[in-house]
Amino acid sequence: MSAADWFALLNHELLLFEAVFFLIGALDELLVDLAYCWFRLTGRAKGKRVAERELASEPLRGLCAVFIPAWREDRVIGDTIRQALDIWRDEKLRLYVGCYRCNKATISVTMNAAAGDSRLRIVVHDLQGPTCKADCLNRLYRALWLDEQRYGRRVRMVVLQDAEDMVDPAALHLLDRGMEEAEFIQLPVLALPHPESPWISGHYSDEFAESHGKTMVVRQAMGAAIPGAGVGCAIDRVMIERLDRVRGGDGPFAAGALTEDYELGQLVPALGGETRCLRARTEQGRVIARRASFPAQLSAAVRQMTRWVHGIALQGWDRLGWSGGIADLWKQLRDRPWTVRRAFAGRCLCVDRRQFGAVAIGITWNCYSDDNFSCSRDPALGELRLAFMARGVARRVHRA
């Protein structure tokens, strides 16, 4: 065989191998779709309906601390603080904003936004910054612990919030009610569309709508652990202390992890706690969720997605291992093959980007020339191509 024949053979084998991985992923998505439909038909995936006025009139069952880490967030943190303090008027609310001593602009805006409201606590990190989000959250936890010792009052739950996210009026009381059932509660996250970036922001909107509107529902119905999203989630105070002890007193949040929120949702069940994805609508039909802003630029989106994939697929595998029941193992298997599939996809792209892309997205029929190793000469690739086409059509119909 000549060098060209060896190259064509390598191209074909890698393409077939990657196509099998894509087929397994397509079957997995089909099973999730079928499970979701079954749970909806049997009532196990039915969301709650709550009376918003009645919910808002309920006093919080205990003190609630909201953690907001902020590094160079002077353009958005002021609006976030004012909105949270204005909408959540309960006296048992405590807002902890973590700033860095070198970031004077964020500190100044945060102080102005407080407008004398004693419920706001500005915590200045002793490091110059920036550090990771988990490190800032651990600094906020230490400040909370000192306040509890100083005033002799212990909070009931800790809520995580990002500096740029808008809060839902009913979210705080819904989380407070949910603490009666579990030690970790995750509200749905809705990615806000960006008018100047429909492709990138639309990708986030689609992904979060499917993940928090369907996949989370299936995970909960099957009894698997609910991963944290880093925002719109609440943790029981006793569980927070337990996590801190497990980490040797260095703080409850994993400063060495790229996705400390994902790891948080996995550790709570391991320590004897319950996790819940709490889906509810108001009587008017509004989803009670955390409405979040995500990157609108391609470079920022690539950095964020890379951090998520690295943190969940690689670090999650290394730090958490494989544990739990069948449902948890299935969930971990869904989360972690991302890296393997992308690694082989990259190798196929290096061999022949044109052929790999055409087969992977499943929209071609006979676009290969006769002098190349064509799909029409291999029945297996031809059948896989048809499967990809069917999968693509099914996904478009499902998302529509």
Where are the domains positioned within the chain? 3-38+337-399, 48-321
User: Token digits for 10?
Assistant: 């390598």
Q: How far is Cα 247 from Cα 338, in angstroms, rounded to an integer? A: 28
How much is the pLDDT for 30? 85
How much is the pLDDT for 12? 72
Q: What is the pTM of this model?
A: 0.85
How much is the pLDDT for 353? 40
How much is the pLDDT for 174? 95
Please state which CATH number belongs to domain 48-321: 3.90.550.10
314-340 b/e (C-beta count within 10 Å ≥ 16 → b): ebbeeebeeebeebbebbbebbbebee
How much is the pLDDT for 80? 94
How much is the pLDDT for 347? 45
ω into residue 379 within 30 of 0, thus cis? Answer: no
How much is the pLDDT for 361? 44
How much is the pLDDT for 119? 96
Q: Torsions phi, psi of 97, nearest 5?
A: -110, 120
Q: Splitting the chain (400 residues) into consecutive groups of 10 residues, what average pLDDT does each group show?
A: 74 74 80 90 87 89 96 94 94 96 94 93 91 95 97 96 91 95 95 87 88 91 91 96 94 92 91 94 92 88 87 86 85 72 48 42 41 53 72 70
How much is the pLDDT for 193? 87
How much is the pLDDT for 339? 52
Q: Do the beta carbons of residue 54 and residue 86 sit within 8 Å?
A: no
